[in-house]
């Protein structure tokens, strides 16, 4: 099981150029890898179930459960969102016969979400300073920043997220304060801040 503290926002339409420029700017860090393209398949069975997510991802079954809602936090004047903690369980099959897209792709309640995702990773050091590291780096205390372009049922969306681990609440605040210091893009509002289960009920 993996535990994380998260801030996430979703918006319809194409990714604004100002947001992309902020994410790719040098002051955000040097360790930026190429975008990852993939398709995840989500189970969307209840319009009011915003506390649990189930999906197939690259031959794995992933289940996420919201453990707590921590309220609205304000990072900078243009950025506020709803802070949540989540637990995630992953099931894998070494035979590659289970958890395959073809087993659910044509069934009702399953929906495919195409993603183009960019990520940055930040390590929080003992003196509470923050440094960018490669996304593949194995660190105990830190936070990932991701920018994702989404396509669902022919409609475009985009999302920004912070996902912290370790002393996750403190780590998220430290990293958020740094990465949004130079942010001057689209206003990120609390009303648009939620996780994937809630977004699915809006997008489908």
CB 29 within 8 A of CB 186: no
pLDDT of residue 159: 98
- pLDDT value at residue 1: 87
Q: Which CATH number fits domain 2-203: 1.10.357, 2.40.320, 3.40.50, 3.30.870?
A: 2.40.320
d(C-alpha 196, C-alpha 66), whole Å: 11
CA distance 104 to 127: 48
Query: Within 10 A of 117 (CB to CB), how many other CB atoms are there?
Result: 15
Q: Is the Cα dihedral 129, 132, 135, 139 positive or negative?
A: negative
**Enclosing H/E stretch for 176:** helix 168-179
Q: How far apart are CA 24 and CA 147, in angstroms?
A: 10
Going by pLDDT thresholds of 50, 70 and 90, the confidence category of residue 203 is very high
Alpha-carbon distances of 43 from 62, 76, 93, 155, rounded to whole Å: 11, 35, 19, 18
Please give the pLDDT value at position 11. 98
Question: What's this model's pTM, rounded to 2 decimal places?
Answer: 0.92
Distance separating alpha carbons of residues 199 and 180, to the nearest angstrom: 23
The pLDDT, as a whole number, for residue 27 is 65
Q: What are the residues whose beta carbons fall under 8 Å from the beta carbon of 34, sequence distance 6 or more?
A: none
Res 48: pLDDT: 78
Please state, in angstroms and rounded to a whole number, the distance separating the CA atoms of residues 22 and 28: 8
**Rounded to whole angstroms, how far apart are CA atoms 146 and 161?**
5
Q: What angle do CA 38, 43, 64 make, to 5 degrees?
A: 80
Q: What is the pLDDT of residues 161-189, one digit of tens each?
A: 999 999 888 999 999 999 999 898 889 99
The rounded distance, in Å, linking the Cα atoms of 73 and 110 is 33
Query: Where are any strands of DSSP class E within 58-187?
Result: 60-76, 79-92, 110-124, 130-133, 142-152, 155-165
């Amino acid at each position: 099981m993996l535990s994380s503290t998260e801030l996430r926002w979703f918006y319809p339409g194409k990714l604004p150029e100002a947001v992309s420029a902020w994410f790719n700017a040098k002051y955000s860090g040097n360790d930026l890898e190429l975008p990852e393209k993939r398709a995840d398949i989500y189970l969307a069975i209840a319009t009011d179930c915003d506390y649990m997510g189930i999906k197939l991802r690259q031959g794995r079954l992933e289940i996420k459960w919201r453990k707590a809602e921590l309220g609205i936090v304000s990072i900078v004047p243009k950025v506020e969102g709803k802070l949540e903690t989540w637990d995630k369980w992953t099931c894998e099959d070494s035979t590659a016969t289970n958890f395959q897209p073809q087993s659910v792709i044509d069934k009702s309640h399953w929906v495919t979400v195409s993603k183009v995702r960019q990520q940055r990773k930040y390590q929080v050091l003992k003196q509470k300073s923050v440094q960018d590291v490669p996304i593949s780096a194995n660190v105990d205390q830190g936070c990932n920043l991701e920018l994702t372009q989404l396509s669902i049922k022919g409609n475009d969306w985009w999302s920004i997220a912070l996902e912290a681990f370790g002393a996750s609440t403190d780590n998220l605040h430290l990293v958020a304060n740094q990465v949004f210091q130079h942010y001057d893009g689209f206003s990120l509002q609390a009303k648009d801040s939620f996780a994937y289960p809630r977004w699915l009920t809006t997008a489908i």
